[in-house]
Amino acid sequence: MNTVTRILNQMSVITVDCTIWSGARRLKPEDLILGQGGQLPSDDVISLGSKKLCNREVLKPFNRLREQAGRLCARDGIRFLGGYAVPDTCVEGLSQELDQLQSDFDQEKQTFLAQYDQHIQEWVQAHSDFAEAIRKAVPDAGYVGQRLDFGYTVYKVTASPKPDKLNQQVNRLGNTLREEISREAQTLFEQTFKDKQKVTRKALKPYLRLRDKLNGLAFVDPDIVPLVQRLDEGLAQLPNRGSLEGEALTQLMERVLLLCSVEQMQQCAQALSADNSVSTEPVEIQEQPTETPRETEEIAEKEENVESTSPTVEVNQTAATFYF
């Protein structure tokens, strides 16, 4: 079995198919009738060659669900062939979450269509100077319903008789994974760790998501496994409860900064792979014990009342070569 076939046999592709009515129609020359005092309609109702037929706020739930679906797929998978390459082990759980989003979307659709005429009427009343142009352009609810749809497809990819192009795409999956992890890690560092002397254990959640994504997709590139093992070594050294500060925070930040750089991830993996003791199999990590809600409240209260005496942690992001 060649490398490409081995990779394809361990993954599926998920594509999310979501269409949302724009709530607008093309602006026609006859629509531009000047109002009182020669005023054009406001930006609320016309923009960039289109006229808005309802308040865009009522369409936000659909956009939110579409974005949530994208985040779920990106959590477990990486971009591939217009969708997301997802480990087969994640397909069932991810499908259940997407099924729930589909149900939520359908419920929002029913609610929106039931109130459709009211939404239009409120918009017309709010823009009375442009009322006639809006009324003429408004489609019926059936038309709008056909343009509000959510679904997804799960499929397997197999090698074709002429596999060159597919092989190129599959062989790039390792680089794609590192690039996506790098972008997510940079955001994590900026939002959670930069200039911090102490963080709560909540900071571990996004870090563990990156670790789990790497581990789940480790089959796309053998250099991923030693990288995951390096992350796990750091996790094993963290305290089981309480805030993270001092040496514990420094070690965690070092590994976040490692993930921020595609080049350093590759260098670290290659250095670790040279050690014959490093396994090439994906690894499982036991979830670290967390405090009960009461314990968390007590710890948070202590953190607020006791001034930290730990020294400032300074990490040089551009020279983070300390994890080899």
Same domain for 212 and 147, yes or no, is no
Residue 196 sits in the same domain as residue 264: yes
**pLDDT attached to residue 286:** 45
Sign of the alpha-carbon torsion through 113, 117, 121, 122: negative
Residue 2 pLDDT > 70, yes or no?
yes
Does 164 reside within a domain? no
Kindly tell me if the per-residue pLDDT of 308 is higher than 70: no
The model's pTM is 0.77
In this structure, the answer to whether residues 148 and 184 fall within a common structural domain is: no
**196 and 266 in one domain?**
yes
Interval 268-277: pLDDT, tens: 888 887 764 5
Q: Give residue-wise pLDDT tens across range 242-286.
A: 899 999 999 999 999 999 999 999 888 888 877 645 454 444 544
Of 280, 285, 256, 260, residue with least CA distance to 269: 280
Counting the structural domains of the chain, the total is 2
75 & 150 share domain: yes
Residues 6 or more apart from 118 whose CB is under 8 A from it?
none
Max CA separation in the chain (angstroms): 82
In terms of domains, do 62 and 179 share one?
A: no
If you average pLDDT over residues 76-105, what whole number do you get? 97
Tokens representing 290 are 């967390």
- Regarding whether 150 and 95 lie in a shared domain, the answer is yes
Grade residue 163 by pLDDT with cuts at 50, 70 and 90: confident
> Do 250 and 113 fall into the same domain?
no
> Both 123 and 209 in a single domain?
no
Q: Which domain holds residue 102?
A: 3-155
Judgement on whether residues 149 and 201 belong to the same structural domain of the protein: no
Give me the pLDDT at residue 44, please.
63
Domain boundary pick from 155, 187, 220: 155
